[in-house]
Structure 1
Amino acid sequence: MDEQRLYQTLKQQFGFDEFRPGQKETIQAVLNQNDVLAVLPTGAGKTLLYQLPAYLMPGSVLIVSPLISLMQDQVDRLRQHGERQVVMLNATLTGRSRQQVLNRLAAYRFIFASPEILAQPSIKHALRKCRISLLVIDEAHCISQWGPDFRPEYLLLKEVKNDLRRPPILLLTATATPRVQNDILQKMGLDEKNVKRVIRSVNRPNIFLAVDQVENDQQKRQRLVKWLHELGGGGIIYFSSRKLANELADWLGEMTGLEVAVYHAGISAIDRFRIQQQFMQGQLQAVCATSAFGMGIDKDDIRYVIHYHLPGSLESYVQEIGRAGRNQKPALALLMYSPGDEQIQRQLSQIELPSQAVVEKVQQKKLPGNALGPQAELIEFYLSHGWDYARLTAMLKKRGHLVNQQLAAMLSYVSEKKCRRANIMRYFGELPVDCPNCCDCHQNDWRLSDLKLPDAVDPVVNDQLDWQKRLQFLFAKESKTG
């Protein structure tokens, strides 16, 4: 593909004159029919990596994404730019309309789908009739990081690739250590030597990194109120507990006078959509959220991200703080820590495997599936794909070691004395850069006024949401997450 045509398409279809770092290299590799793993930071313009090639390749591009809201956001953006040959395959597509879409699936340039729906025989059959020129897996770290936890269907994407006659594959993520990169490729059945890797630094120099160490949860609550009083609007506060997110959202609103809402997978899809829109438009000044909030949130002026609880890994932490300061203006990433916080993540990560006798009785239909306990759905998934008890036990043991390693890395970040940014970069296999005054290790007496954060944006009063979006989300059944 000559560069002139590449830049012409960039200008004509997207209105840009230049590529961002990593974009051109990735797109050229895709157009050369290479399998590509692109690890680019949040805000690097990852959607362009498959949207531009779609206008230069025959057939369709299949994009696998973990969340309906994330897919819907991309579908809406494409349609707003005049693209009509775009479709999203999800549970809301039923009856006659579903059959009509499947009958003409090959006519669509962009096909968005969740990993779960790709397992359905009717979807498989329709896709086999299409010319899939590129298979895109968004949030590809789910193959490694989430596979054993929440979305085991990501582990079936290797079969999808083979079922579609092995089209070139583009794996996209914002964070992946060298170990996770290799794990992704191994689980997808790809030869590491033949995969083009486009890796850019996780470093976001405009984000100031800080840790607020407190003695207990009561002091942590008091400190959080203080921070919000000083920071004002334009931020996200992440929690590991839905219950506490609910409780503190109401309390923080009362204590600070800010408009604060709660967001997690336990509230309805329409409420999640409403909260997203209100936050995007500045009607909400802060959101208390679980990790379900953030993917697909294209808001470039988030001023701060606060973690009330210790994240389970530096991968998750970097993903979540990367939602701040996408306009390249100064932003704050603040992690609040009290002794013992890591036990919350250990409890959340724990998967209890019942006895071999119970598992075998469930397999023999002598006991119902719920006899497998709280993780019944996850365990049944592996059993249905041929895993035996010994293999399950070995996988969970290996996963337990990984959880401990990830928590140790998080605690290393919390206790860092020299440079938090260097700590993160080393974890991701990068050489640390010289970045004075980038974190509270360099400025232990730092103040918010030193960071020169942009002023909080005044709320925008605008209730006129697109009626089609309202209707779509009213009936949408969101995939489980967070």
Structure 2
Amino acid sequence: LIEKRRRRTGKSVKDDEFVGAVPEITEMRKPSDYAHFRTSMCDDVQESETLKLRPYQEELAEAALRGKNTIACAPTGSGKTEVAIHVATSHLDERAENRQPARVAMLVPRTPLVDQQKHRFHKYVRGKYYVEGFHGSGLKGASRRDIVLACDIVVMTPQILLNMLKSIRQDERLYVCDFSLLIFDEVHHCTKDHPYNILMQTIHDYQGPKPQHTLLCRGLPARPQNVIIMMKVVTWEIQLFSAVPSYNQISHSMGRLIEWSEYCGVE
């Protein structure tokens, strides 16, 4: 694999620069240890706005605020992003109070959403938490990895995260344990080969500590075959923290999907 990488990149890379040359990392690398890689604090001069949730948004966030893996289902325009921001900031606040390291990644399926969601986070957390965004045309190599590790909250496409989780270079590599909370946006778009599906499998197979998960979706996909895939993703999500998921977890999440599938005429 290393030789193939050398031939593909055309670069001369020393053996000790590859992941195999060092032990596997199983503890989060703290954002505070990488704070000197933060590129800009210009937004900190502005005061952040106070985030106020509506009652139905508070209900969507309730389980996630208890540290549970959660699927937040609500129609377009109902404020799921605000729910995600509230969950993320509450998670960071609680971990800070308990003197535990924390890092949140919000994953979005399309490049234009990276900057959009990054700015939504800035609106409410500027001056308190450091936020960055990454997509395919962003920074490369060591700069990207170190800036991700410097973040309290990072918004990125799932393919970028997958690439960094699988990189064989030490200076590009991220680990699942580098994150304490993952937020998956628009999971209703998930298909068989979608990076969300591959990423969930990668996390499921990871042997170290796994982050909490919050999935955001507006309902079932339109195509029946994608409904099945969506159900599998939900099942992965439920099982990530518990070898034997509770009946309530399964019936609540799958029950919603079954109701929607009947409504859409999907068998």
Tell me the TM-score normalized by structure 1: 0.34
Provide the secondary structure at the position in 1 that maps to 2:137.
Answer: coil
Q: Distance in 2 between matches of 1:56 and 1:113?
A: 20
Question: Is the contact between residue 42 and residue 174 of structure 1 (CA under 8 Å) also seen in structure 2?
Answer: yes
Question: Is the contact between residue 145 and residue 173 of structure 2 (CA under 8 Å) also seen in structure 1?
Answer: no
Correspondence 1:174 to 2:218:
yes
Provide the secondary structure at the position in 1 that maps to 2:154.
Answer: strand
What number of residue pairs does the alignment pair up? 187
Per the alignment, residue 187 of structure 1 pairs with 233
Q: Distance in 1 between matches of 2:143 and 2:85?
A: 24
Q: Distance in 2 between matches of 1:80 and 1:108?
A: 16
Show CA shifts across 1:150-170 (max 9, x none): x63232022343347332211
Per the alignment, residue 165 of structure 1 pairs with 209
Show CA shifts across 1:22-63 (max 9, x none): x21222201212121121011111112221122222311111
Matches within 5 A, 1:185-334: 185-187=231-233, 189=236, 190-191=238-239, 193=247, 194=249, 197=253
Q: Distance in 2 between matches of 1:44 and 1:69?
A: 20
Match of 2:264 among 427, 434, 438: 427
Report the residue type matching 1:19 in the other structure: R
Match of 1:137 among 184, 189, 200: 184
Per the alignment, residue 373 of structure 1 pairs with none
Measure how far apart 1:92 and its partner are: 2.2
Q: Distance in 2 between matches of 1:80 and 1:50?
A: 13
Q: 1:103 to 1:66 in 2, by over 3 A?
A: same
Measure how far apart 1:72 and its partner are: 1.1
Q: Distance in 1 between matches of 2:74 and 2:213?
A: 16
Correspondence 1:94 to 2:139:
yes
Q: Distance in 2 between matches of 1:20 and 1:198?
A: 23
Per the alignment, residue 382 of structure 1 pairs with none
Q: 1:36 to 1:198 in 2, by over 3 A?
A: farther
Per the alignment, residue 112 of structure 1 pairs with 155
Provide the secondary structure at the position in 1 that maps to 2:155.
Answer: strand
Q: Distance in 1 between matches of 2:52 and 2:59?
A: 16
Report the residue type matching 2:110 in the other structure: L
Per the alignment, residue 75 of structure 2 pairs with 41
Tell me the TM-score normalized by structure 2: 0.57
Show CA shifts across 1:312-366 (max 9, x none): xxx9xxxxxxxxxxxxxxxxxxxxxxxxxxxxxxxxxxxxxxxxxxxxxxxxxxx
Q: Distance in 1 between matches of 2:139 and 2:161?
A: 15
Question: Is the contact between residue 131 and residue 153 of structure 2 (CA under 8 Å) also seen in structure 1?
Answer: yes
Question: Is the contact between residue 71 and residue 112 of structure 1 (CA under 8 Å) also seen in structure 2?
Answer: yes
Q: 1:50 to 1:186 in 2, by over 3 A?
A: same
Match of 1:26 among 45, 60, 67: 60
Larger Rg: 1
Question: Is the contact between residue 145 and residue 172 of structure 2 (CA under 8 Å) also seen in structure 1?
Answer: no
Show CA shifts across 1:139-180 (max 9, x none): 10122xxx24xx632320223433473322111111227986
Per the alignment, residue 26 of structure 2 pairs with none
- List alignment gaps of at least 5 residues for structure 2: 1-46, 96-101, 240-244
Q: Distance in 2 between matches of 1:40 and 1:165?
A: 30
Question: Is the contact between residue 40 and residue 46 of structure 1 (CA under 8 Å) also seen in structure 2?
Answer: yes
Q: 1:176 to 1:184 in 2, by over 3 A?
A: same
Question: Is the contact between residue 105 and residue 156 of structure 2 (CA under 8 Å) also seen in structure 1?
Answer: yes
Show CA shifts across 1:267-322 (max 9, x none): xxxxxxxxxxxxxxxxxxxxxxxxxxxxxxxxxxxxxxxxxxxxxxxx9xxxxxxx
Q: Distance in 2 between matches of 1:30 and 1:89?
A: 25
- List alignment gaps of at least 5 residues for structure 1: 1-11, 201-314, 316-405, 407-424, 430-482
Q: Distance in 1 between matches of 2:59 and 2:265?
A: 21
Provide the secondary structure at the position in 2 that maps to 1:73.
Answer: helix
Identity %: 19
Measure how far apart 1:182 and its partner are: 6.4
Question: Is the contact between residue 65 and residue 114 of structure 1 (CA under 8 Å) also seen in structure 2?
Answer: yes
Q: 1:50 to 1:16 in 2, by over 3 A?
A: closer
Match of 1:15 among 38, 45, 50: 50
Greater length-normalized contact order (CA 8 Å, ≥ 6 residues apart) = 2
Report the residue type matching 2:150 in the other structure: A
Provide the secondary structure at the position in 1 that maps to 2:62.
Answer: helix
Per the alignment, residue 174 of structure 2 pairs with 126
Measure how far apart 1:119 and its partner are: 2.2
Q: Distance in 2 between matches of 1:19 and 1:68?
A: 29
Report the residue type matching 2:50 in the other structure: G
